[in-house]
Amino acid sequence: MNVPIVAASSLGLGYSREDGTATWAALEEAIGELEGGTATAFASGIATVSAVLDQFSVPVTVAVPVDSYAGTRGVLEHGERTGRVRTVRIAPEDTGAWIAASAEADLLWLESPTNPSLRLVDITAVANAAATQERPPKIVVDNTFATPLGQQPLALGADIVVHSATKFIGGHSDLLLGLTVTADETLAAGLRDARTRGGATPGALEAWLALRGLRTLAVRYAEASQTATLLARRLSEHPAVTVVRYPGSGAMLAFEVADAESADRLCAGLRLIRHATSLGGVESTIERRAARAGDAHVPGGLLRLSVGLEDPEDLWRDLDCAL
């Protein structure tokens, strides 16, 4: 049974910003068990980035994939402008560059698969190399796309896992929430302290909705993976599609058409798949990310597709007609 919504700011002599609530605790316990560490819930996924950076003295050197979530890069770019962050940008699949960066950086911020292009980082190889350094960097993995069912980065050598629970964990496009998970109790305490100081606490309803969504994640993940596998195969065979990237499981895939005009025409021609910027819900969504300033560097014809729970043949007919 799902826990009740505890909508309280004051619990006797306690205070929920500092002590949490039963609803937060239930969500954190469930995510911690799935990822293999101690979880802390935040008001949004982007709040986890600030909480992680709060663990370092400034200036902090952060290596980040060139192809990665625009919101994360935006926080780092703001830190660069204010002199608090030095950012090193690395191609996701350039394992040698990541290993080299592990000798200089304080923090390696990984995504695998990346947002929006679905490129992969060899987390294990990077983590193993980082562990041999005289002063090993901390390794963070944004596990939003893979979910805890697709991979558990702490078991691969990461120090911290972050999630935008707004996406697949919530799963119904009706909440904003972020999560950190770490097996290091000192880091866990530091992240929780950052939440208390910064005030980026999750809402009572949002935590309850995320826990509700988590209860169906396994079913949603399995069904969406099957559909995404079928769509990826058919897209790769379509003459109008030049590139398809699908990591083999999960609901996210990326594909490219000839140019931005072709991609925009495809989005306008869809009837079932929604042209929308968020992802991870039960409805399929698609977006040309290069149209947004933060992702202007990706190919103009790149489309990011989040596969929902509609009938696979209906989704394919929609894509095929639009193509």
Contact 298, 290 (CB under 8 A): yes
* 17 labelled catalytic: yes
Burial class (CB in 10 A: 0-12, 13-18, 19+), 253: buried
Catalytic one of 67, 106, 142, 295: 142
Q: Which two tokens stand for residue 28?
A: 């954190």
Residue 167 annotated to the active site: yes
- Tell me which of 67, 69, 245, 246 is the catalytic residue: 69
Q: Which residues of 80-91 are buried (b: 16+ CB within 10 A; e: fewer)?
A: eeeeebbbebbe
Which SS3 state, helix, strand or coil, does residue 178 take?
Answer: strand
**What is d(CA 103, CA 93) in angstroms, rounded to the nearest whole number?**
18
Q: Tokens representing 23?
A: 């609803």
| Annotation marks residue 142 as catalytic | yes
Indicate which residue of 167, 195, 289, 304 is catalytic.
167
Contact 70, 295 (CB under 8 A): yes
CB-based contact 280:168 (threshold 8 Å): yes
- Strand pairing partners for 90? 65
**Which residues, 6+ apart, have CB-to-CB distance to 300 below 8 Å?**
259, 260, 263, 288, 290
Distance CA 186, CA 38 (A): 11
Backbone φ and ψ of 139, nearest 5°: -120, 125
Query: Which stretch of DSSP H or E encloses residue 243?
Result: strand 243-245
Query: Are the CB atoms for 250 and 224 separated by under 8 Å?
Result: yes
Retrieve residue 18's tokens: 């500092």
Q: Which amino acid is at 151?
A: Q
Whether 138 is a known active-site residue: answer no
Report, as residue numbers or ranges, the catalytic residues.
Answer: 17, 69, 142, 167
